[in-house]
Amino acid sequence: MNDKPIIRIKNAVKTFGTVQALRGVDLEIKHGEVVLIIGPSGSGKSTLLRSVNRLETLTKGEIWVDEDSVTNKDSDIRKIREEVGMVFQSFNLFSHLNVLENITMAPLTVKNVSKQEAAETARKLLKRVGLADKETAYPSQLSGGQQQRVAIARSLAMNPRVMLFDEPTSALDPEMIKEVLDVMLDLAKEGMTMMVVSHEMGFARAAADRVIFMDEGLIVEEGTPGDIFSNPQEPRTKRFLEHIL
């Protein structure tokens, strides 16, 4: 981990109609850092995450990925999105493409790589997520855990510098959560910068450098997993943790 921030969020405000999803969030994430964001539903954690690659447009505030402004309307958001991978709660694999095509689609469309090269990278990634034998399967033929691992491989195929995870295990049956977390753990160990919205305590303790607790559109408390889980300072954090532990 080096000390320069790769993601900088300044005074992020997002309103949906009359609802204030984010009410002024400041956050910096360093290269190689793994940050877990927790909080009750409606606390704005997903909105914050989705603002980083501009799937949500902030009402106010600024976000940078490295030196590139995400929030500036004139900046090339596609270039930024190439560098920022995202994994969704509902996997969102392309259902008309098989596993290999899912992974090679973006590199072939967006980057100038050859078919062969893209397939080679995809196979390497599939091996890495433990699905080397599934390259011709269609998403509907895979379990949720397998789909999510393919989704991670699909993101990695663009060789991103940051990975965003939006509740990656919430839609999974319990027995499949571990296979996904294991892949994420490996990624963390390899030094990937990760911003994860999740309540997986085990993952937090094993991999997170920092845990952030959000409520009502604000960061209420942050610290190491040990601090937050064992010794929370804010009453709201305590109450929330009592609920989920």
Residues that bind another protein (CB under 8 A): 53, 55, 78-79, 81-82, 84-86, 88-96, 105-106, 109-110, 140, 144, 151, 154-155, 158, 171-173
Angle at which helix 144-156 crosses helix 115-128, to 10 degrees, equals 130
Task: Report the alpha-carbon angle 235-167-73, nearest 5.
Answer: 95
- We find the least distance from the C-beta atom of residue 113 to another protein, in angstroms, to be 13
Residue number with CB closer to another protein (165 or 213): 165
84: its two tokens: 């920022």
Residue number with CB closer to another protein (96 or 243): 96
Residue number with CB closer to another protein (106 or 188): 106
- We find the least distance from the C-beta atom of residue 172 to another protein, in angstroms, to be 8
Handedness of CA 38, 90, 184, 54 (dihedral sign): negative
- We find the least distance from the C-beta atom of residue 174 to another protein, in angstroms, to be 11
Residue number with CB closer to another protein (13 or 105): 105
- Sort 223 into a burial class: Cβ within 10 Å, 0-12 / 13-18 / 19+: middle
- We find the least distance from the C-beta atom of residue 23 to another protein, in angstroms, to be 24
Residue number with CB closer to another protein (102 or 237): 102
- We find the least distance from the C-beta atom of residue 142 to another protein, in angstroms, to be 10
Q: Which residues contact 112 (CB under 8 A, 6 or more apart)?
A: none
Q: Could you give the CA distance from residue 113 to residue 117 in angstroms, rounded to a whole number?
A: 6
